[in-house]
Amino acid sequence: AHELGTPLGTITVVAKELLREVPEDSPLREDIELLRSQSLRCREILATLTGSSGEEDSPFARVPLTHLLEEIIDPRRGTGVDIHVDAAPEAAAQDSSEPDAARNPGVLYGLGNLLDNALDFAHSRVDVIARWDEQMVSLKVQDDGPGFSEAVIERLGEPYVTSRPVSGDRRATGEEGLGLGFFIAKTLLERSGARLEFSNRKPPDSGALVEVSWPRDALDGWEDAGERD
């Protein structure tokens, strides 16, 4: 992750200089502004990841899964949308102990991004549901908003596809924009061993549903996602 800082800084500086030289009415100006804004966004994400790393020797480097979830959720409470957490063993594995998880900065960022998206589109409620047994650990993040558009649901997680509308109306769906943060979140979670599935909730419920699942031994072996090959 640290190695990305220099090239991103160079891209940002070059884009800024190009903006100074390109006329206001140039057809290239919008593309250059987009390049600069996205390079700044990448630097923010990189700062988040590097700022969270280096804690492997901390006594809190590994925490129970529910503690990890609260670390992600707590700063996002008070937004006007209720966040409900339901964490328990699978019904057929009631004796299964709660898994511990490393405070992997990539996973913290990835799950935080999924939660942010759910909060942005929810009307009033987001549910975070965690289940585990001796083989698997799964998380569901679901909201009560309009759900994913059929036009983009199969492509979510690609670098330039998002369910966010270009117009900025958070509750509309179906238009394409830049899903860079979502793409990075999906990539980091997959590098931790996770599998992601995107769908809409079944009627009569409405809203989007993202399911993230790990083999339990992968969760137990989380590393700093930024240092993996």
Q: Are residues 29 and 110 in the same domain?
A: no
Q: Are residues 90 and 70 in the same domain?
A: yes
What does the pLDDT look like over 73-99, one tens digit per residue? 999 999 899 999 999 999 999 999 999
CB-based burial, 113-143: b 16+ in 10 Å, e otherwise: bbbbbbbbbbeebbbbbbbbbeebbbbbbbb
Q: Are residues 42 and 114 in the same domain?
A: no
Which H/E stretch holds residue 88? strand 82-89
The rounded distance, in Å, linking the Cα atoms of 210 and 140 is: 6
State how many domains the chain has. 2
The rounded distance, in Å, linking the Cα atoms of 221 and 193 is: 9
What does the pLDDT look like over 28-45, one tens digit per residue? 988 888 888 877 877 777
The rounded distance, in Å, linking the Cα atoms of 199 and 124 is: 19
Q: Are residues 16 and 111 in the same domain?
A: no
Query: Hey, what's the torsion of the CAs at 13, 19, 20, 26, to 10 degrees?
Result: 160
Q: Are residues 188 and 89 in the same domain?
A: yes
Q: What is the pLDDT along the chain (229 residues), one digit of tens a residue?
A: 555 666 767 787 888 888 888 898 898 988 888 888 877 877 777 666 665 555 554 545 788 999 999 999 999 999 899 999 999 999 999 999 999 988 888 899 899 999 999 999 999 999 999 999 999 999 999 999 999 988 888 888 776 565 555 434 433 433 334 367 788 889 889 989 999 999 999 999 999 999 999 999 887 665 444 444 4
The rounded distance, in Å, linking the Cα atoms of 162 and 155 is: 8
What CATH number corresponds to the domain at position 210? Answer: 3.30.565.10
Q: State which residues form the domain around 99.
A: 62-227
Q: Are residues 139 and 36 in the same domain?
A: no
Q: Are residues 41 and 150 in the same domain?
A: no
